[in-house]
Structure 1
Amino acid sequence: MKKLYSLTLSFLLFSTITVFSQEKNPVIENIQKEAYNNSQLEVLGHELLDDIGPRLVGTPQMQQAHDWAVEKYKTWGISAENQQWGEWKGWERGITHIDMVSPRIQTLDGTQLAWNPSTSSKGVTAEVMVLPEIKDSISFKKWLPNVKGKFVMIAMKQSTGRPDDNWKEWATPESLEKMKNEREETTKAWNENVKRSGYDRRSIIPALEEAGAAGIVDSYWSKGFGVNKIFGARTKKIPSVDMELEDYTMLYRMVEHGDKPKIHVVAESRDLGVVPTFNTIAEIKGTEKPEEYVILSAHFDSWDGGTGATDNGTGTLVMMEALRILKKVYPNPKRTILVGHWGSEEQGLNGSSSFVADHPEIVSNIQAVFNQDNGTGRVTKINGAGFLQSYDYISRWLKAVPDTISKHIETTFPGEPARGGSDNASFVAAGAPAFSLSSLSWDYWNYTWHTNRDTYDKIVFDDVQSNVILTAILAYMASEDDAKTSREQVILPMNEKTGEPQTWPTPRVPERKGGI
């Protein structure tokens, strides 16, 4: 039985070796020169995020992004194509406008949710109500007719709109503790109240629609100033909007005080029927071992509350810029280098898992996959993904990375296999060595992950540029390595909950007809 081990390394130890290897290797020197002296990152970011915008699967903007990437690669002399893997519900966002019209006039901050059924251009005006205190499912069913013709608020009233770090900085310890206790109690009471209805937070929405509600008002606060998470609508005919906490809680208080607020909602959109879905694949063909592959991986789609800048615009920019640089300074790689821009990652890794299922001849000959998908920050962690010999080859490749970048990176070997979260998991499940280039937070989870604030201005280009250099060098080293990477898997530890041995993840079946 092989011994399970875990090592954390600081690459400060390799600084002397790194400088020496760079002096001896013009390709690595030229990767850095091109990245620093001729960066295309800001232009690419503007074209993708400002001009095209968010890339929700099934939208014209997603198709526009695929076509833009293919044409951009062609201008760099790189072959690229869009490969269809499925179909999706076609939809395009239109104008959203939310106004309180009684007891006073105020424009409110919010937006319709993805795949929202359209209102007319005149919109819908109705009184706002909240869920009652629910005794049981029988009493809730008796209450349901009260929603007819009204907007129903389905999120709890948050007790504070200040993030926790703001409280920690300014509040007394007693006040902070009081706030946390009150929030915990309120959250528990809200969840139990919804549960007593016989529904959960999701299933209650179609029940309200069936009962005749005029619309749904949600508020998925992301625990930051002015920031909400924006996902998909669950209604078939009535509008569903997400409203920022500041305005949502104001309306909630008005309802509680008997003010009977009314809102006017215009939420226009277009149903486009069924549309094809794609991955964009770019390629620099290998010269010595063209049947072996190094893959640079980043999902192309996003949610559409913001413009998908850090999830995963920055990962996309890293892979595009890295391949542009490699084409210029390393045009004849030993192994074939691919970039995969995956579709519909956000709905369950559908694009990458489809690629894995459709291209076994590629997957069986992968040297390495490098995936980046968690924000704008510089890469700070790489783990071996459960491949027993990963320490040997990843450490060897990282020795070529300049110390200014590698000193920030911690590695863990052999690590454990990814089971979800991002597209590297699709390849790991198929037994291919795929590694996540995990980034520094920059408050990613609260402020930009799936939110209305995931926009160009949140990009930290110095960190993204660092990730370009890292990715390009890793791809070069993996391509040039004389040895084929080992796929030997670690023996996984016992599952603490079941007492049974953990098993390697199995490939997921992709959803190829989404929302249809």
Structure 2
Amino acid sequence: MNRKLLLPSLLLFTSSFVFAQDKVIDNIIKEANENSQLENLAHELLDVVGPRLVGTPQMKQANDWVVKKYADWGISAKNEQWGQWRGWERGVTHVDLVSPRLRTLEAIQLAWSPSTNGKPIKAEAIILPDDITDSVSFQKWLPNVKGKLVLVSHNQISGRPEKNWEEFATKDLFEKYKKDKVEDLRKFSRNLAKTGLKAKELASALENAGAAAVIINNWSQGFGVDKVFGANTRKIPTVNLSVEDYGLVYRLAKHGSKPVLNVTSESKELGLVPTYNTVAELKSKQKPNEYVMLSAHLDSWDAASGATDNGSGTILMMETMRILKKFYPNPKRTILVGHWGSEEQGLNGSKA
């Protein structure tokens, strides 16, 4: 080729390539901004399927939903079993304070909590003694839990977040609140440590001593927000009460008012069930054995919809693949997306 023609030809080719690449990028940006499917995906996954606890029917429903959505977009996807998990299905939780007055309490059973077996538990609620001297004194007290609902969590001195205190309290009162809060928690922690038991061991000890149920509160330091994880009991229910309702029952018990609760906690044990990762693929023709990897865990805890952790990441990966399939269907390298299972219990799906 004439050298005088080579450079213009290369420049023309290069500019055409850059223009084509720019066009793809422009289309991707336009699609993301003007035809986003994120809201629809969020509705289907978070509102309709809902929470996705490993071992539950909802987790498998979520796996299958992801595969179907990818198939609708012409993207190859499949469920890959990585192991087995304890199968469990959440039912209704309902708790009423029935004495010394009537009030329906805000309550939810923990994941994998045993059921009340179709018959509500009506029992007095008690608290741990606040003067435990050592493990021996705790063991002497332990028979008192038989047939009782036992409150085992720290009772917050206020259900208001610190930001709210800072905004509305005087400076002196806010500082006093923070100091009292720290000291109160330290006192509770020191007392609990004297039992000689860790959290899981305490739940087992109460269960083995004949307690009717374990009642907790795991407040997230925000208005109306709790962390709800897994139960440490195997035979009796573990139920979380909201910070305000837990405080009410705690104070009634502490002051000798003998609060009585009516507890319904329904659930089903499903035995060992298979558990899956869902993997989607955009296959490259140029370099099929070189990979670009995207991922987000699909599972969640099940007291809420799992939107932040990690439904948002899940639908972002799916929307990314939808747009790439539409405007970049022949990638230079194979693009894989892993929707992992059981991240919440120790990165199990992604490790597999």
1:45 and 2:45 aligned = no
Aligned to 2:345: 347
Q: Which amino acid aligns with 2:208?
A: E
Cα distance, 1:120 vs structure 2 = 2.2
1:336 and 2:334 aligned = yes
Alpha-carbon separation, structure 1, partners of 2:34 and 2:19: 17
Cα distance, 1:306 vs structure 2 = 0.4
CA contact (8 A) 1:23 1:29 kept: no
Aligned to 2:192: 194
Cα distance, 1:36 vs structure 2 = 1.4
CA-to-aligned-CA distance 1:2-43 (integer Å, 9 cap, x gap): xxxxxxxxxxxxxxxxxxx89961111111111112111111
Cα distance, 1:296 vs structure 2 = 1.1
Q: Secondary structure at the match of 2:192?
A: helix
Please tell me the root mean square deviation across aligned C-alpha atoms, in Å: 1.1
Cα distance, 1:282 vs structure 2 = 0.3
Alpha-carbon separation, structure 1, partners of 2:350 and 2:299: 12
Q: Secondary structure at the match of 1:25?
A: helix
Q: Which of 213, 216, 235 pairs up with 1:215?
A: 213
Residues 323-472 of structure 1: pairs in structure 2 closer than 5 A: 323-354=321-352
Q: 1:173 to 1:80 in 2, by over 3 A?
A: same
Aligned to 2:28: 31
Alpha-carbon separation, structure 2, partners of 1:185 and 1:308: 34
Q: Secondary structure at the match of 1:203?
A: helix
Give the share of equivalent positions with the same residue, in percent. Answer: 59
CA contact (8 A) 1:22 1:29 kept: no
Cα distance, 1:124 vs structure 2 = 0.6
Q: Which amino acid aligns with 2:284?
A: G
Aligned to 1:470: none
Alpha-carbon separation, structure 1, partners of 2:325 and 2:200: 48
Aligned residue pairs: how many?
Answer: 334
Q: What TM-score results when the alignment is normalised by the length of structure 2?
A: 0.93
Alpha-carbon separation, structure 2, partners of 1:210 and 1:188: 28
1:286 and 2:284 aligned = yes
CA contact (8 A) 1:22 1:28 kept: no
Unaligned runs of 5+ in 2: 1-17
Residues 181-330 of structure 1: pairs in structure 2 closer than 5 A: 181-330=179-328
1:69 and 2:66 aligned = yes
Q: 1:115 to 1:24 in 2, by over 3 A?
A: closer
Alpha-carbon separation, structure 2, partners of 1:123 and 1:255: 21
Alpha-carbon separation, structure 1, partners of 2:334 and 2:314: 19
Aligned to 2:5: none
Cα distance, 1:78 vs structure 2 = 0.1
Q: Which amino acid aligns with 1:129?
A: I
CA contact (8 A) 1:154 1:218 kept: yes
1:111 and 2:94 aligned = no
Runs (4+) of structure 1 moved beyond 4 Å? 21-24
Q: Which of 91, 95, 99 pairs up with 1:102?
A: 99
CA-to-aligned-CA distance 1:76-133 (integer Å, 9 cap, x gap): 0000000001000000000110111111111100100000111122211100000002
Q: Which amino acid aligns with 2:307?
A: A
Alpha-carbon separation, structure 1, partners of 2:79 and 2:20: 39
Q: What TM-score results when the alignment is normalised by the length of structure 1?
A: 0.64
Q: Which amino acid aligns with 1:108?
A: L
Alpha-carbon separation, structure 1, partners of 2:175 and 2:58: 45
CA contact (8 A) 1:83 1:281 kept: yes
Aligned to 1:121: 118
Alpha-carbon separation, structure 1, partners of 2:146 and 2:60: 39
Alpha-carbon separation, structure 1, partners of 2:81 and 2:350: 12
Alpha-carbon separation, structure 2, partners of 1:36 and 1:291: 32
